[in-house]
């Protein structure tokens, strides 16, 4: 069997977004460790961004490569360099971005004609449906790669059973039918359900684009985390394999520090800072690569972290970091007031490296699925602050199903420019931090114990003989069976 596996060539086609490229790159490493040859289709600038990850994988003798294809920015009217969703100045440009993604079909087909060895299958992100046509042309199987949870997948499917016309307002709660737990949503929390297709259409994100046929669905989750929701989704979709958390493939320090982007500050600096703090005493506040946060909201976050009296690391992403923000941090004295208790990073820092440090005891998160899984794997309780897309689904999973989080109290979606009617006030941030970090509270201890138990389950799932490890074996065997 080993020799047959070494003849396999998996071609991975992610949506050009951090939330897709990062887990699919981790997935590629896990495949390559089993002897499979893996190619990841990307663009020139994304290939540069992930160069360190690929070089480290090759140094481990893994057969993995990134193949850049020119991204047609000019052809669709995007500025040069907008090769990743997080590079867009305005999410109103996203319809052009998706149009550019669709234009990659022809160059991909040309590439496949030239590739050696020939691809055995394609694994692609859900928002790239045209890969099904490519697979039919080359007579190879295709697998969906889901970057959301089984909970989200089932809940989104069952929303179609809700008569939303009978709901009187955006803030009126309603029960979601036919799921294992009692879960309520409001219309203000729901993602929209359309993919941008035309020139004047404003981009609105969604968790579940329209599906096209696939051999099976791969979910970056693990069976023990959400068994009832996996079973429910399987009944609707057929063959579904949980193959995560894929982020746990990053065991060594260089893998963790290079994953995703280049750090904005020296690694030694923040690790030294973390070493100076007591175990489980630090709140890590980070809101992902896509969430735009207004200056008004940033001030509330900083004031709440300051008032909480807990040590904290706070990441302010490059797109939100302005001269106005810097003036508030320095001239108005926030950094000076918190002193060594707080570390504010302008730009990017390696999330899984920080989360896994023993000093970190809580995670203030936007509830993106990658971040949610990384928090689960680190065994830290979370403060949930969903902003858009499927993030409100993830909040319900974290707080209501798993019991490892505290909701900060967001009432509705944030707009992509960071503005919202639902401003989270500093005292909400303070209360949530205090609730999660209260070592004397029985509720807090129970939450932390449950988070630590789930971290062990996640680790066991990807170890040899674990549920995700066995699903990887079934996936590889399924591809082999299709080639006979």
On whether residue 427 sits in a domain, the answer given is yes
Is residue 152 a contact partner of residue 394, using CB atoms and an 8 Å limit? Answer: yes
Residues 208 and 273 in one domain: no
Per-residue model confidence (pLDDT) at position 454 = 98
Per-residue model confidence (pLDDT) at position 483 = 82
Per-residue model confidence (pLDDT) at position 257 = 65
On whether residue 255 sits in a domain, the answer given is no
Q: Tell me which residue of 198, 478, 256, 248 sits closest to 379, measured CA to CA.
A: 248
Residues 230 and 325 in one domain: no
Per-residue model confidence (pLDDT) at position 200 = 36
Average pLDDT over residues 115-139: 95
pLDDT tens digits along 188-220: 888 764 434 343 334 444 444 445 679 999 999
Per-residue model confidence (pLDDT) at position 107 = 96
Residues 134 and 271 in one domain: no
Residues 196 and 123 in one domain: yes
Is 92's pLDDT higher than 70? Answer: yes
On whether residue 254 sits in a domain, the answer given is no
Average pLDDT over residues 457-473: 97
Residues 244 and 278 in one domain: no
Residues 424 and 478 in one domain: no
Share of the chain above pLDDT 70, in %: 91
Per-residue model confidence (pLDDT) at position 208 = 46
Residues 469 and 419 in one domain: no
Per-residue model confidence (pLDDT) at position 397 = 98
Cα separations (Å) of 6 from 120, 204, 350, 468? 11, 42, 32, 21
On whether residue 312 sits in a domain, the answer given is yes
Residues 239 and 346 in one domain: no
Residues 446 and 469 in one domain: no
Q: Tell me which residue of 402, 314, 425, 408 sits closest to 360, measured CA to CA.
A: 314
On whether residue 256 sits in a domain, the answer given is no
pLDDT tens digits along 280-330: 999 999 998 777 889 999 999 999 999 999 999 999 987 788 888 888 888
Q: Which two tokens stand for residue 208?
A: 């579940």
Per-residue model confidence (pLDDT) at position 195 = 39
On whether residue 57 sits in a domain, the answer given is yes
Residues 284 and 429 in one domain: yes
Model confidence at 1, pLDDT cuts 50, 70, 90, reads: low
pLDDT tens digits along 376-393: 999 999 999 999 889 999
Query: Max Cα separation, the chain?
Result: 69
Model confidence at 406, pLDDT cuts 50, 70, 90, reads: very high
CATH code assigned at 435: 3.40.50.2000
Q: Tell me which residue of 331, 346, 454, 339 sits closest to 398, measured CA to CA.
A: 454
9-13: strand order across its sheet: 64-68, 37-42, 9-13, 121-125, 142-146, 216-219, 240-242
On whether residue 257 sits in a domain, the answer given is no
Residue 279: alpha-carbon gap to chain centroid: 26
Model confidence at 455, pLDDT cuts 50, 70, 90, reads: very high
* Strand ranges, E, within 223-273: 240-242
Model confidence at 20, pLDDT cuts 50, 70, 90, reads: very high
Residues 453 and 470 in one domain: no
Helices (H), 35-104: 44-49, 51-59, 73-76, 94-102
Give the domain extent around 422. Answer: 264-458
Is residue 417 a contact partner of residue 399, using CB atoms and an 8 Å limit? Answer: no
On whether residue 399 sits in a domain, the answer given is yes
Model confidence at 93, pLDDT cuts 50, 70, 90, reads: confident
Q: In whole numbers, what is the pLDDT of the chain averaged over residues?
A: 89
Is 270's pLDDT higher than 70? Answer: yes
Residues 363 and 471 in one domain: no
Model confidence at 262, pLDDT cuts 50, 70, 90, reads: low
Angstrom distance (rounded) from CA 360 to CA 448 = 12
* Count of domains for the chain: 2
Is 396's pLDDT higher than 50? Answer: yes
* Residue in this structure with the two tokens 């099904």, named with its chain if needed: 132
Helix (H, G, I), strand (E, B) or coil at 64: strand
Per-residue model confidence (pLDDT) at position 323 = 85
Average pLDDT over residues 129-156: 96
């Amino acid at each position: 069997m080993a020799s047959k596996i070494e003849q396999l060539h998996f071609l991975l086609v992610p949506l050009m977004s951090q939330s897709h490229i990062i887990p699919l790159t981790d997935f590629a490493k896990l495949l390559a460790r089993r002897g499979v040859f893996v190619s990841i289709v990307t663009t020139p600038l994304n290939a540069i961004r992930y160069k360190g990850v690929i070089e480290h994988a090759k140094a481990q003798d893994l057969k993995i490569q990134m193949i850049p294809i020119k991204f047609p920015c000019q052809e669709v009217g995007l500025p040069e360099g907008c090769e990743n969703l997080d590079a867009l100045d305005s999410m109103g440009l996203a319809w052009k971005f998706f149009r550019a993604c669709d234009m990659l079909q022809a160059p991909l087909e040309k590439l496949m004609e030239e590739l050696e060895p020939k691809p055995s299958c394609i694994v692609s992100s859900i928002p790239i449906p045209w890969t099904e046509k490519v697979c039919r042309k080359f007579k190879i199987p295709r697998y969906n790669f889901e970057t959301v949870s089984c909970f989200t997948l089932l809940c989104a499917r069952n929303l179609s059973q809700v008569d939303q016309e009978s709901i009187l307002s955006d803030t009126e709660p309603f029960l979601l039918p036919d799921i294992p737990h009692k879960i309520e949503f409001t219309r203000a929390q729901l993602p929209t359900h359309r993919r941008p297709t035309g020139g004047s259409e404003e981009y609105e994100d969604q968790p579940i684009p329209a599906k096209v046929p696939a051999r099976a669905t791969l979910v970056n989750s693990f069976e023990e985390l959400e068994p009832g929701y996996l079973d429910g989704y399987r009944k609707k979709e057929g063959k579904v394999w949980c193959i995560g958390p894929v982020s746990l493939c990053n065991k060594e320090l260089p893998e963790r520090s290079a994953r995703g982007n280049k750090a904005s500050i020296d690694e030694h600096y923040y690790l030294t800072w973390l070493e100076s703090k007591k175990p489980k005493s630090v709140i890590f506040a980070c809101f992902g690569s896509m969430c735009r946060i207004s200056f008004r909201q940033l001030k509330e976050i900083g004031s709440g972290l300051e008032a909480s009296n807990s040590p904290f690391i706070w990441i302010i992403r490059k797109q939100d970091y302005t001269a106005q923000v810097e003036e508030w941090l320095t001239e108005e004295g926030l950094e000076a007031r918190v002193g060594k208790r707080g570390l504010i990073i302008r730009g990017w820092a390696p999330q899984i490296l920080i989360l896994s440090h023993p000093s970190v005891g809580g995670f203030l998160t936007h509830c993106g699925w990658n971040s949610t899984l990384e928090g689960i794997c680190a065994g830290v309780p979370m403060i949930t602050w969903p902003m858009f897309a499927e993030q409100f689904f993830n909040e319900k999973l974290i707080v209501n199903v798993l019991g490892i989080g505290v909701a900060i109290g967001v009432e509705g979606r944030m707009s992509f420019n960071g503005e919202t009617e639902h401003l989270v006030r500093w005292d909400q941030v303070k209360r949530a931090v205090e609730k999660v970090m209260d070592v004397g509270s029985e509720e807090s201890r129970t939450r932390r114990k449950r988070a630590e138990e789930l971290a062990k389950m996640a680790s066991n799932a990807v170890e040899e003989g674990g549920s995700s490890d066995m699903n990887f074996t079934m996936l590889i065997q399924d591809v082999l069976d299709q080639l006979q």
